[in-house]
Chain A
Amino acid sequence: MKLDDPRMVKWLWLGGMLLLVIVIVVDAFVPHHAHFERDGVTIDTLPEFFPLYGFLSGFLMVVVAKALGVALTRKDNFYGDD
C-alpha cells in the first residue's frame, strides 16, 4: 500500500466519506421495523436513527471514558515492577 503518498490518503478519506453519504441516503429508504412496537417504542423506525445512534454512542463512550480517565488513569508503573 502506498499510504505514504498524501494523495492516496486523500482518496481514502474521500472514499470513506462517500461510504457514509451512501449509508445516509440508503437509510432514508430502508423500511425499519420497530423492535418493541407493543411497548410503544418506535424510535428505531425513524429514518437516520441508526447512523445517528451509532455516532452518538461512539461519541459518548469516548467522552465518558475520557472523563473517567481523569480520575482513574495512573502512570503505567503505578503498581511497581512486580
Chain B
Amino acid sequence: MAMIDLPPALVLMAGAVVMTAVRGRARWVVGLGAPLIALADCWYVITEGAESYLYFLGHALNPVHVHPATPVFATIFCIAALGGMLFSLHQDRRVEQSASLWHAGGALGVVFAGDMVTLLVFWELMTLGSLVVIWSGGQKHSYGAGLRYFGMHALGGVALMMGIIIVVTQRISDGSADPLVFTHFAEFAAGWPGLSWDTVGIWLVLVGMLVNVGAPPFSPWIADAYPEGSFSGTVVLSAFTTKTAVFTLLVAFAGFEALIYLGLWMACYGIVYAILENDMRRILAYSIVNQVGFMMVGIGVGTKLSIDGTAAHAFAHIVYKGLLMMSAGSVLAATGKRKCTELGGLYRTMPITMWCGIIGALAISSFPLTSGFTTKSMIVDSIGEQSELLAQAGVSHTHLIVAWFLLEAATAGVFLHAGIKFPWFVFFQKDSGLRPPDPPWNMRTAMIGFAAICIVLGIFPGILYDILPYKLEAGEYSKVVYSFEHVMTMLALLLFGGLAFFVLLPILKRKETITLDWDWLWRAFIPRLYREVLTPLLEMAQKAQKTVLETLPGKSMEDSRLPAPLARKLGSAWAVSVPVLLIVLMLLVYLVIYFVVPSI
C-alpha cells in the first residue's frame, strides 16, 4: 500500500468545517484558500498519477483515482468553488458558505472516486451540502423546495446504492478481482442492453445518475430548487450536482444510445420552459437542463471527439452559467426582485453587471470568440463525424442525423431563450424605475474574472483542449473550429434565431405564471390522491376495524392505551392501525406478485 495521497475533496471539506468557526478576515483566507489549495492538490494527484488504497471490509477503496475526464472536471470544480466564494464573502453567511465548500468538496470527491463506494459516499455528502445551501437561501419557497430537492435526491441516492450493491454482488459471484471498481459498463455501449435480472443493477445505477443530471421525468428539481438559493448560493448550486452526474455518466455510460434521446429531449425542454418562464433565475435554471442535454448527447455518441466535447462543454458551461447566475444574483441582491415582469431598464445603473451578463449570454449561445463556440461545436460536429464512420461501415444511423438537425435548431433556441431573453428582460425592455448600483467589489471581481475566462477560452481554446480526456482529437479539432464556414454557419443560425425573438416579441411579454411540469405529479396529483382518496379509504377501514375489535370479547380499546403520565413522557399516542393496515396491503400485493411471477 502506497502512502495515502490527500484526496482533494477533503481539503474543501476541512475548509467547510473551519469556515463555521472563523470570523472577519480569516473567513476570506479560508473561503479563498481552500479552493486554491484543493486545486493545487488536484494537480499534484493528477501529475503524480498516484493511486492510493484504503481497505474496507476486505475491499480496496481508491479515493484518488484519476479518470481520463478527472483533470478537466476537478479543475473547473475548484475554479467554480473559488468564484462562488469570492462572490459571496462580503456577507457573513457562514452556514451557506460552509455548506457551499462542503457541496463542492463532495463533487470533487466524486471525480476522483476510483471505486463505487467512494463514489456513493461523496455523492451523498454533496447532496447534504447543497440541501443546506438551499435551506439557507432565505427565499419565500426555500424550505419547501429544499425538502422536495432532498426527497428527489434521496430517492436517486437509494437507486444508486441499490444498483451498486447489486452490481458488486454480481461481480463478486463472477469472481471479479476488483468488484468495487468504478468504470465503464461496456454492456450498455454495445447496443440496447434490455431489462433483465443481469442488468438490473446497472439500470439502477443509471437511474440514480439520471436523477442528478436532471433527465426526464426528474428535470423539474433543477428549476424548483436552484432559484430558491440566496443570490450567492445559487451561483454555487448551478455548478456541481448536474455536472458531477455528467462526469459519472461519461465514465460509466459513454456510448449508450438512449442518452442521445434523453439529451435531445432535455435540450428542447429547457428552451420551451425557459421561453414561458417569468423568474429570471428559473429561466437560467431551465437553460441548465438545455445545456446538459447537449452534454448527454455527447455522452451517448461516445466517440473520442464527443467525449472531449462533453468534458470541454461542461467546463465552459460551469463558467458561463456561474457568470449568468452571478449577474442575476447581483440584480436580486440589489433589487430584491426576481421576476422579469418587475425588472427592466437596469442597464442605466448596473453597467458592469449588464456587460458581464451579456458576455455570459453570448457564451451560452456559443457565439464565436466565446467559450461556448469552441466547446459546444465539438459535440455537434462529433455527430457528423460518427455518422460518416457508420455510413462507411454500412450501419444505420438515422438517429444521428435527426440529432444533428435538432441540436442545430436548439443552438438557435439557446440564443433566443437565454442569450437574448435574460439580458433583454432584466437590463432593457421597459424602465422599471429601479436604479440599483453595481454590486460590491468582490462580486464585480468574480463576475469580471468569469467573463474573462469565457472570452479567453473562446480565443485560445488550446488551453482547455490540453486537459481533455483525448487531447489529440481536440488538438485536431482546434484546426477547424475557426474555419470560415464554421463561423459563418454559427453566426447565421444565431443571428436569425435572434431575429425570431424580436419578431415575436409581442407574444413573448411575460406574465406572472409558472409552467406545469412532471412535478405536478408529486406536488399536486399525489397529495390530492392522498387527501381525497387514500385518507377517506383509510378512515373507513379504521372505522370498520374498530367496530370489529369492539365486538370482540376481552379488553376494550380504551384499556390498551398507555397510562396518561407515561403517554405524556413518551409523546402523544400514535395510532398503529394505519401503518399495520398498509403493511398488510403491501404483503397482499407481494403475495399476488409472487404467484403471478413465479421466477422471483
**Interface positions of A (Cβ within 8 A of B):** 1, 3, 19-20, 23, 26-27, 30-33, 35-36, 38-39, 41, 50-66, 68-69, 72-76, 78-79, 81-82
A73: min CB distance to chain B, Å: 4
Neighbouring B residues of A58 by C-beta, 8 Å: 412-413, 415-416, 496-501
User: Taking the complex as formed, is B524 at the interface, i.e. its CB lies under 8 A from any CB of chain A?
Assistant: yes
Determine if B496 and A20 form an interchain contact, defined as CB atoms under 8 angstroms apart.
yes
Q: How far is the CA of A1 from the CA of B354 in the complex (A)?
A: 11
Neighbouring B residues of A26 by C-beta, 8 Å: 488
CB proximity to A under 8 Å, residues B514-565 = 514-517, 523-524
Neighbouring A residues of B499 by C-beta, 8 Å: 20, 55, 58
Closest chain B residue, CB of each to CB of A35: B384
User: Taking the complex as formed, is B138 at the interface, i.e. its CB lies under 8 A from any CB of chain A?
Assistant: no
Neighbouring A residues of B29 by C-beta, 8 Å: none
Neighbouring B residues of A55 by C-beta, 8 Å: 412, 496-497, 499-500
A43: min CB distance to chain B, Å: 9
Q: Are A39 and B496 also in contact (CB < 8 A) when A27-B488, A74-B514 are?
A: no
Closest chain A residue, CB of each to CB of B503: A59
B384: min CB distance to chain A, Å: 4
Q: Are A76 and B387 also in contact (CB < 8 A) when A30-B485, A69-B276, A82-B144 are?
A: no
CB proximity to A under 8 Å, residues B257-311 = 268, 271-273, 275-276, 278-279
User: Taking the complex as formed, is B186 at the interface, i.e. its CB lies under 8 A from any CB of chain A?
Assistant: no
Q: Are A33 and B508 also in contact (CB < 8 A) when A58-B497, A64-B272 are?
A: no
Determine if A61 and B514 form an interchain contact, defined as CB atoms under 8 angstroms apart.
no
What are 5 pairs between A and B in contact, CB < 8 Å?
A38-B392, A53-B496, A54-B492, A57-B409, A72-B517
Closest chain A residue, CB of each to CB of B224: A79
Closest chain B residue, CB of each to CB of A19: B495
Ranked 5 nearest A-B pairs via Cβ? A58-B500, A82-B144, A57-B409, A54-B496, A38-B391
B578: min CB distance to chain A, Å: 24
Interface string of B328-342 (1 = CB under 8 A from A): 000000000000000
Determine if B140 and A62 form an interchain contact, defined as CB atoms under 8 angstroms apart.
no
B7: min CB distance to chain A, Å: 38
Q: How far is the CA of A42 from the CA of B271 in the complex (A)?
A: 27
Q: How far is the CA of A53 from the CA of B392 in the complex (A)?
A: 28
Which residue of the partner chain, among A20, A76, A82, contacts B512 with CB atoms under 8 Å?
A76
Closest chain B residue, CB of each to CB of A27: B492
User: Taking the complex as formed, is B471 at the interface, i.e. its CB lies under 8 A from any CB of chain A?
Assistant: no
Determine if A62 and B416 form an interchain contact, defined as CB atoms under 8 angstroms apart.
yes
Q: Are A35 and B387 also in contact (CB < 8 A) when A53-B412, A62-B508 are?
A: yes
Determine if A73 and B409 form an interchain contact, defined as CB atoms under 8 angstroms apart.
no
B299: min CB distance to chain A, Å: 20
Which residue of the partner chain, among B276, B489, B497, contacts A32 with CB atoms under 8 Å?
B489
A21: min CB distance to chain B, Å: 11
Determine if A30 and B495 form an interchain contact, defined as CB atoms under 8 angstroms apart.
no
Determine if A32 and B492 form an interchain contact, defined as CB atoms under 8 angstroms apart.
no
Which residue of the partner chain, among B347, B412, B428, contacts A54 with CB atoms under 8 Å?
B412
Closest chain B residue, CB of each to CB of A2: B348
Determine if A35 and B507 form an interchain contact, defined as CB atoms under 8 angstroms apart.
no
Closest chain B residue, CB of each to CB of A33: B485
Q: Are A78 and B496 also in contact (CB < 8 A) when A30-B485, A32-B489 are?
A: no
Q: Are A36 and B404 also in contact (CB < 8 A) when A19-B495, A23-B492, A68-B276 are?
A: yes
Determine if A61 and B275 form an interchain contact, defined as CB atoms under 8 angstroms apart.
yes
Determine if A35 and B516 form an interchain contact, defined as CB atoms under 8 angstroms apart.
no
Determine if A1 and B412 form an interchain contact, defined as CB atoms under 8 angstroms apart.
no
Determine if A39 and B391 form an interchain contact, defined as CB atoms under 8 angstroms apart.
yes
B423: min CB distance to chain A, Å: 13
Determine if B496 and A51 form an interchain contact, defined as CB atoms under 8 angstroms apart.
yes
Which residue of the partner chain, among A50, A69, A72, A75, contacts B489 with CB atoms under 8 Å?
A50
Determine if A23 and B491 form an interchain contact, defined as CB atoms under 8 angstroms apart.
yes
Q: Are A30 and B488 also in contact (CB < 8 A) when A58-B413, A58-B501, A81-B140 are?
A: yes
A68: min CB distance to chain B, Å: 6
Determine if B497 and A57 form an interchain contact, defined as CB atoms under 8 angstroms apart.
yes
User: Taking the complex as formed, is B494 at the interface, i.e. its CB lies under 8 A from any CB of chain A?
Assistant: yes
Determine if B409 and A61 form an interchain contact, defined as CB atoms under 8 angstroms apart.
yes
Neighbouring A residues of B491 by C-beta, 8 Å: 23
Neighbouring B residues of A50 by C-beta, 8 Å: 488-489, 492-493, 496
User: Taking the complex as formed, is B504 at the interface, i.e. its CB lies under 8 A from any CB of chain A?
Assistant: yes
Which residue of the partner chain, among B279, B347, B512, contacts A3 with CB atoms under 8 Å?
B347
Q: Are A76 and B278 also in contact (CB < 8 A) when A57-B412, A58-B498 are?
A: yes
Closest chain A residue, CB of each to CB of B487: A30
Determine if A38 and B416 form an interchain contact, defined as CB atoms under 8 angstroms apart.
no
Q: How far is the CA of A78 from the CA of B141 in the complex (A)?
A: 13
Determine if A76 and B514 form an interchain contact, defined as CB atoms under 8 angstroms apart.
yes
Q: How far is the CA of A63 from the CA of B508 in the complex (A)?
A: 10
User: Taking the complex as formed, is B588 at the interface, i.e. its CB lies under 8 A from any CB of chain A?
Assistant: no
Determine if A30 and B347 form an interchain contact, defined as CB atoms under 8 angstroms apart.
no
Neighbouring A residues of B276 by C-beta, 8 Å: 65-66, 68-69, 72-73
Closest chain B residue, CB of each to CB of A26: B488
The winner among B388, B404, B500 for most chain A CB atoms within 10 A is B500
Determine if A62 and B504 form an interchain contact, defined as CB atoms under 8 angstroms apart.
yes
Q: How far is the CA of A76 from the CA of B409 in the complex (A)?
A: 29
Q: How far is the CA of A54 from the CA of B494 in the complex (A)?
A: 6
Q: How far is the CA of A3 from the CA of B208 in the complex (A)?
A: 49
B139: min CB distance to chain A, Å: 12
Q: How far is the CA of A64 from the CA of B514 in the complex (A)?
A: 16
Can you add 19 more A-B contacts, CB < 8 Å, to A53-B409, A57-B408, A58-B499? A27-B492, A32-B485, A35-B384, A35-B387, A36-B401, A36-B404, A52-B496, A54-B497, A55-B496, A57-B497, A58-B412, A58-B501, A61-B417, A65-B273, A66-B276, A68-B276, A72-B517, A75-B513, A76-B279
